[in-house]
A and B are shown apart, each in its own frame.
Chain A
Amino acid sequence: MDSTLATLAPLASPFLGLAASGLNRADLPRILRDLPFGVAVVDLERRTLMLNAALERLTGFASDEAAGVPCRHILRGSFCQHQCPPLCCAKTGESPCRATSREGTLINRHRRKIHVRLTSVPVLDAEGAHVCTLEVIEDLTPLKELEARLTRTAGPGAIVGRCPAMEHLLRIMPAVAQSDAAVLLTGESGTGKDLLAEALHRASPRTRESFVRVNATPMPEALLDVELFGQAGGAEGEAPRPGKFQLAQNGTIYLSEIADMPLAQQGRLLRLLDEKAVTPAGGDRPMRLNVRVLAATARDPEGLVEAGLLREDLFHRLNAVRLHLPPVRERGEDVQFLLTHFLGVYTTKFRKQLLGFTQEALALLSAYDYPGNVRELRNMVEYAVMVCPGDMIGTEHLPPQVHFPASPRGEPEGGAPRGKHPHGKRGTA
């Protein structure tokens, strides 16, 4: 244990510098007391001199009991130990002259973790010497709650459907989420594989850990290897670089199109699934990993195995649990349910008072076969809600492709069904 200067130095007269610069020390508490955000006055040794009323409420400490205590023990911020700007300046020998802000959390006396933004404002005297620091703390809890609400796209409630296939999926989803088995998600583009993968993670015991999505985009194999499995530290002191699998430690990794992954990496993934360990590129010692693997493909996995694009052993390993998302055209009565669902979502988002669809619009939308699946249906409703000035969405508010559906591969309307049908087969629910 090394020594802490702040705790060993004798307590100096803290407001001496302020008095010398013409400010009366008694003025500060009065000036700061009723500000709507938290303020702590901290001396050069990082000891707390006072807290204003807002910060007393936020931290649970009274100003009197905090006086003289190192501020890291009062603020208990995530930024206190390693990113404290005055301490950083002290290390580099610079004098802090600019206000700096950073976001983080603090844990208050009531054991509550609070998201905050801390701005450190150095107070300088007439000669430019650092006198003390004002630590201004804003409570970001309402903003963080709003952000979480807006970005929470993939809770278990985000997957909706009433057709038998979707009802079955929703019924088994909690049990699948609770298990640690690898899952293979299949379904055409736009059916919600990504959403389902994230929902599985959110409903799993790993929900507090990271969810890492991997898109095995075409890149040189060596680079992809580093990207996925990381790189060991170099002999010349190079820092080791974590790969996606290391970033997902204790959490979930989602491979969004498994067949895009080269066969060499598929082999390494198979070893990872079997041995729960991975050797980073350039390293010789395997690293133990605790990662749940979810993989998805928009194509027929058996066909991919036949075509040599997916290793058969990996397919059988991933296929332990297989969840298939049916295309919209096979979800029958779900179309109207989804239209109503997204109408509700977008009327709330755009603050409109829409009552529903006209009979003509509904007939047109029900007859359409949605090659882009739920994603296309959702975008159509978003467009319609956006452009509709009245209270009912009519045919004139629907995007052109509903009125004039394009024929696939130049076939006449009424010919072969559209959408991706791998190997000539239509997906099954």
Chain B
Amino acid sequence: MSGTILVTLYRDEVAPRFDLASEVLLVTVNDEGHEMRRQELVLAHASADDLCDLILDREVSVVITGGMEDEHYHYLRWKRLDVLDGVAGLAEDALSRHLRGELRSGDILFPRGGHG
């Protein structure tokens, strides 16, 4: 469980798109899954390639993000990272679910329905 988790941000949500994220949350957790360090980074500009560089540079082990292109997904998987993409929801919600081992790629965490 220990390692660094990166969540791409759009306001307080997981960024809908990996390549357009201009803010990220980096959370380092220990073996018990307790949060040791938290850092929010504002990126100079949104770029999927630059974000991949940052992820490798910071030795991130898990990426939680929204929609992501195949190319970047497979690149990060090839670099042996866990990539939970297609996640739609509040960033904190996604993070806590991941720490409980309940988050999967494609999970929609927003309340649904509404045809009321």
The contact string, 1 if C-beta is below 8 Å from chain B, for chain A 102-119, is 000011111111000000
Question: A15 to B40, alpha carbons, bound, how many Å?
Answer: 39
Of A3, A50, A76, the most chain B CB neighbours within 10 A belong to: A76
| Nearest CB in chain A to that of B115: its residue | A67
Q: Are B11 and A4 in contact (CB under 8 A)?
A: yes
Pick from B19, B69, B112: contact of A68, CB under 8 Å: B112
Within 8 A of A (CB), among B59-116: 66-70, 73, 85-86, 88, 90-91, 106, 108, 110-116
Q: Are A7 and B12 in contact (CB under 8 A)?
A: yes
Indicate if A14 sits at the interface (CB-CB under 8 A): yes
Indicate if A70 sits at the interface (CB-CB under 8 A): yes
Pick from B67, B85, B108: contact of A69, CB under 8 Å: B108
Indicate if B5 sits at the interface (CB-CB under 8 A): no
Residues of chain A within 8 A of B86, CB atoms compared: 109
Contact-size category for A: 35 or more
Also in contact, A2 and B112, with CB within 8 A (given A80-B16, A81-B16)? no
| Minimum Cβ distance to chain B for residue A4 (Å) | 5
Of B12, B73, B85, the most chain A CB neighbours within 10 A belong to: B12
| Minimum Cβ distance to chain A for residue B71 (Å) | 8
Indicate if A72 sits at the interface (CB-CB under 8 A): yes
Residues of chain B within 8 A of A11, CB atoms compared: 111, 113-114, 116
Q: Are B108 and A65 in contact (CB under 8 A)?
A: yes
Q: Are A69 and B110 in contact (CB under 8 A)?
A: yes
Residues of chain B within 8 A of A239, CB atoms compared: none
Question: A218 to B107, alpha carbons, bound, how many Å?
Answer: 58
Indicate if A78 sits at the interface (CB-CB under 8 A): yes
Indicate if A311 sits at the interface (CB-CB under 8 A): no
Q: Does more than half of chain A's interface fall in helix, strand or loop, or is it mixed?
A: loop
Q: Are A81 and B20 in contact (CB under 8 A)?
A: yes
Q: Are B70 and A78 in contact (CB under 8 A)?
A: no
Question: A231 to B109, alpha carbons, bound, how many Å?
Answer: 45
Residues of chain A within 8 A of B108, CB atoms compared: 65, 69, 73
| Minimum Cβ distance to chain B for residue A7 (Å) | 6
Residues of chain B within 8 A of A73, CB atoms compared: 13, 16, 66, 88, 108, 110
Q: Are B13 and A111 in contact (CB under 8 A)?
A: no
Indicate if A13 sits at the interface (CB-CB under 8 A): yes
Residues of chain A within 8 A of B112, CB atoms compared: 65, 67-69
| Minimum Cβ distance to chain A for residue B19 (Å) | 8
Q: Are B12 and A76 in contact (CB under 8 A)?
A: no
| Minimum Cβ distance to chain A for residue B91 (Å) | 7
Q: Are B11 and A111 in contact (CB under 8 A)?
A: no
Residues of chain B within 8 A of A108, CB atoms compared: 67
Q: Are B9 and A68 in contact (CB under 8 A)?
A: no
| Minimum Cβ distance to chain B for residue A162 (Å) | 37
Indicate if A148 sits at the interface (CB-CB under 8 A): no
Of A15, A72, A74, the most chain B CB neighbours within 10 A belong to: A72
User: Which A residues form the contact surface with B (CB < 8 A)?
Assistant: 1-4, 7, 11-15, 25, 43, 47, 49-50, 65, 67-70, 72-74, 76, 78, 80-81, 106-113
